[in-house]
């Protein structure tokens, strides 16, 4: 396992690096913030240990930059700053754990090992696509065949649910629960009305229909067969 240690205190760095190497880990050490960020970018590492207070570039800035670049490597903050606010700030910046100095090496080792055992984070899906229909989950926008669809927020939510269940029948009850958060039947045609409006925007004027009625069962979204 390869670990990046970004720590400017020479005594602490030597203590941590020696202990980790004795456990069989490969350790790269940076004593300055910008050097640490450079090594982090060069990576990859299994775990990073980052001091909060560093010359050149502080630990918070390093972690925010690392996370902004999409790096998911587990990060342990190592610092003398022990207030609740400091801990929250570190975790919100993208840290996974927070250990306050002075510390016992056995605890640091246990935390590093726990971070290393975490399964890698799955890439978060931000786009859904079926046939020529595309949904952008970040901007909450949709397009078909390159043409933007003017959807209201609830229409987008309804379409998203249909796309996520493409090829499967979704019942009226399922739509009431998942799209409208109704756990009862309001005895209205709210589902039918909104499906009709959605069809007018998604299917009308295009080569084939994507939203289909399954008589006596519900609805299904699928591409051309």
**What is the rounded CA–CA span in Å between residue 53 and residue 99?**
13
Between β-strands 26-30 and 127-130, what pairing exists: parallel, antiparallel or unpaired?
unpaired
Model's pTM, two decimal places? 0.55
Q: Give the HSE-up count for residue 57: Cα atoms under 13 Å, Cβ half-sphere.
A: 16
Average pLDDT, the chain: 91
Mean pLDDT of 47-58: 93
Confidence class for position 206, pLDDT limits 50, 70, 90: very high
Confidence class for position 215, pLDDT limits 50, 70, 90: very high
**What is the rounded CA–CA span in Å between residue 142 and residue 160?**
9
pLDDT, residue 82, reads 82
pLDDT, residue 159, reads 97
Q: Does the pLDDT at position 225 exceed 80?
A: no
Q: Does the pLDDT at position 119 exceed 80?
A: no
pLDDT, residue 125, reads 61
Mean pLDDT of 211-224: 94
- The more confidently predicted of residues 153 and 82 is 153
Q: Does the pLDDT at position 16 exceed 70?
A: yes
pLDDT, residue 203, reads 96
- The more confidently predicted of residues 124 and 130 is 130
Longest dimension (CA), the chain: 74
In order of their start, the domains of the chain are: 2-117 (3.40.50.2300), 127-221 (1.10.10.10)
Q: Does the pLDDT at position 129 exceed 70?
A: yes
Contact (CB, 8 A) for 129 and 182: no
Q: Does the pLDDT at position 101 exceed 60?
A: yes
């Amino acid at each position: 396992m390869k670990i990046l240690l970004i720590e400017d205190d020479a005594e602490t760095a030597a203590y941590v690096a020696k202990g980790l190497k004795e456990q069989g880990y490969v350790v790269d050490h940076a004593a300055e913030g910008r050097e640490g960020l450079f090594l982090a970018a060069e990576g990859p590492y299994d775990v990073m240990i980052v001091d909060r207070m560093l010359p050149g570039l502080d630990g918070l800035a390093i972690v925010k930059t690392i996370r902004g670049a999409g790096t998911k490597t587990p990060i342990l903050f190592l610092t003398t700053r022990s207030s609740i606010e400091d801990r929250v700030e570190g975790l919100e910046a993208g840290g996974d754990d927070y250990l306050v100095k002075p510390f016992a090496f056995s605890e640091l080792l246990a935390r590093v090992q726990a971070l290393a055992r975490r399964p890698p984070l799955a890439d978060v899906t931000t786009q859904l696509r079926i046939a020529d229909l595309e949904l952008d989950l970040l901007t909450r926008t949709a397009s078909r065949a390159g043409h933007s669809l003017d959807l209201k927020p609830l229409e987008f939510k309804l379409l998203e649910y249909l796309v996520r269940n493409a090829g499967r029948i979704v019942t009226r009850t399922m739509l009431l629960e998942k799209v409208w958060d109704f756990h009862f039947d309001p005895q209205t045609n709210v589902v039918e009305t909104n499906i009709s409006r959605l069809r007018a925007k998604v299917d009308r004027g295009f080569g084939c229909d994507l939203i289909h009625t399954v008589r006596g069962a519900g609805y299904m979204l699928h591409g051309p067969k």
